[in-house]
């Protein structure tokens, strides 16, 4: 299973159809599309899935939120891509992202980097344009050797080109996902520096009462110890478990669909439990 992937609709390099075809080719039982702040690829994703009877395709989204000045990502699984409240929230987030991008490009140009908004639009292809697109352009132009260097030297918090985004609260994301019939999953809770069990507990004490359904315990960047920590805390709070590679195609070198960096394994039992929670009907 792989319940966390991205397509060209946000910052991946494969189309939704190509993700489905690859998932079917490598023998996955299920795959979810969770593009950043957009569901524009969902219709194509579901249509492609109809041609692969052995593969279950799950419409999803990854929503960026703000919790106590820290960015939390909430993945929605099994969402209705046509749901009005969900799409209204996503449009708001993308509008604020576009304003951030204008400021980001202005700062980069002030630092001597040749980059324009038009280049971002052309490079992205989709409607949700994130910082990885900026990094890709700067690497291609020879300013940096790899995308991570762009983030380390320019785009990360406290970097000279960093611009803060205006993000919704977790409860708005959770409510929108639920309105669209989906499950709300906290993605990669230990992914960023400084996050440990105590941080997870502090967040979960606040967001579980708001309706959070689960956490992502199986993730490309997690060590076995981190996975165990997430599983333990999830059990403590009575939360479901999810997992995925965070696959971005060529935009994230070394991360493969279904297996991450080679060690990732999300079992069918994980998916069956999520589906059971969503439908209320035993698998």
CATH, residue 140? 1.10.150.650
Is the pLDDT at 125 greater than 80? The verdict is no
Instruction: Yes or no: say if 185 and 75 are a contact pair by the CB < 8 Å rule.
Output: yes
Q: Tell me: do 65 and 112 sit in the same domain.
A: no
Judgement on whether residues 37 and 134 belong to the same structural domain of the protein: no
11 pLDDT band (50/70/90 cuts)? confident
Q: Measuring CA to CA, which residue among 200, 205, 194 is closest to residue 216? A: 200
Same domain, 78 and 177: yes
DSSP secondary structure letters along 153-180: IIISTTSTT--PPP---HHHHHHHHHHT
Residue 96 within a domain = no
The pLDDT score that the predictor gives to residue 283 is 45
In this predicted structure, the answer to whether residue 215 has a pLDDT above a threshold of 80 is: yes
Which pLDDT band holds residue 6 (cuts at 50, 70, 90)?
Answer: very high
Closest CA to 132 of 44, 244, 140, 269: 140
Same domain, 210 and 176: yes
Q: How confident is the model at residue 193 (pLDDT cuts 50, 70, 90)?
A: low
Instruction: Single out the residue in 155, 177, 192 at which a domain terminates.
Output: 155
| pLDDT > 90: percent of the chain | 80
Antiparallel, parallel or unpaired: β 2-5 and 30-33: parallel
How much is the pLDDT for 236?
Answer: 96
Domain that holds residue 124: 102-155
pLDDT for position 128 = 73
- Is the per-residue pLDDT at 194 higher than 80? no
Establish if 97 belongs to a structural domain. no
Residue 95, in any domain of the structure: no
At residue 191's C-alpha, the angle toward residues 188 and 195, to 5°, is: 110
Provide mean pLDDT across the span 254-272.
95
Distance of alpha carbon 100 from its chain centroid, rounded? 19
Asked whether residue 122 is assigned to any structural domain, the reply reads yes
C-alpha span between 86 and 177 (Å, rounded): 6
Is 118 within the bounds of a domain?
Answer: yes
**Tokens representing residue 62 in the block:** 């990854």
Residue 186 sits in the same domain as residue 274: yes
pLDDT at 31: 98
Q: How far is it, in rounded angstroms, from Cα 42 to Cα 79?
A: 9
Q: Look up residue 134 and give its two tokens.
A: 């900026």
| 71-94 average pLDDT score | 96
What mean pLDDT is reported for the chain?
A: 93
If you ran DSSP here, which 8-state letter would residue 35 be given?
Answer: -
Has residue 157 got a pLDDT over 50?
yes
Whether 107 shows a pLDDT value over 90: the answer reads yes
The answer as to whether 160 is a domain residue is: no
Strands (E), the chain: 2-5, 30-33, 56-67, 70-77, 183-186, 214-219, 240-244
Q: What is the pLDDT of residue 281?
A: 57
- Predicted confidence (pLDDT) per residue in 217-259, tens digit: 999 999 999 999 999 999 999 999 999 999 999 888 899 999 9
Rounded to an integer, the average pLDDT of 99-120 is 94
Nearest to 154 by CA among 163, 166, 145, 167: 163
Mean per-residue pLDDT for 118-128? Answer: 81
* Cβ contact 176:86 at 8 Å: yes
Alpha-carbon span 144 to 243, nearest angstrom: 32
Residues 186 and 261 in one domain: yes
Task: Tell me, yes or no, whether 8 and 71 share the same domain.
Answer: yes
Confidence grade of residue 15 (pLDDT, cut at 50, 70, 90): very high
Structural domain tally of the chain? 2
Residue 213: CB atoms within 10 Å: 22
pLDDT at position 82 is 97
């Amino acid at each position: 299973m792989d319940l966390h992937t991205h397509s060209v609709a946000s910052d991946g390099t494969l189309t939704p159809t190509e993700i489905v075809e690859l998932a079917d080719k490598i023998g996955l039982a299920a795959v979810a599309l969770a593009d950043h702040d957009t569901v524009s690829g969902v219709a194509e994703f579901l249509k492609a899935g109809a041609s692969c009877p052995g593969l279950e395709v799950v419409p999803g989204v990854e929503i960026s939120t703000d919790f106590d000045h820290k960015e939390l990502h909430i993945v929605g699984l099994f969402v209705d891509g046509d749901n009005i409240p969900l799409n209204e929230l996503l449009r708001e987030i993308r509008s604020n992202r576009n304003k951030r991008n204008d400021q980001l490009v202005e700062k980069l140009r002030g630092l001597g980097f040749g980059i324009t908004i038009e280049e971002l639009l052309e490079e992205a292809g989709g409607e949700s344009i994130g910082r990885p697109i900026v990094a890709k352009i700067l690497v291609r132009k020879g300013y940096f050797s790899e995308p991570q260097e762009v983030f380390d030297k320019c785009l990360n918090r406290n970097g000279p080109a960093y611009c803060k985004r205006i993000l919704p609260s977790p409860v708005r994301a959770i409510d929108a996902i639920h309105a669209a019939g989906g499950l709300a999953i906290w993605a990669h809770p230990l992914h960023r520096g400084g996050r440990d069990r105590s941080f997870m507990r502090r967040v979960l004490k606040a967001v579980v009462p708001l309706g959070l359904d689960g956490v992502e315990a199986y993730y490309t960047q997690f060590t076995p110890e981190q996975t165990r920590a997430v599983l333990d805390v999830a059990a403590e709070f009575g939360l479901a478990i999810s997992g995925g590679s965070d696959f971005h195609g060529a935009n994230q070198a070394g991360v493969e669909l279904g297996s991450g960096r080679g060690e990732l394994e999300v079992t069918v039992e994980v998916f069956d439990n999520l589906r059971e929670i969503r439908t209320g009907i035993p698998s």
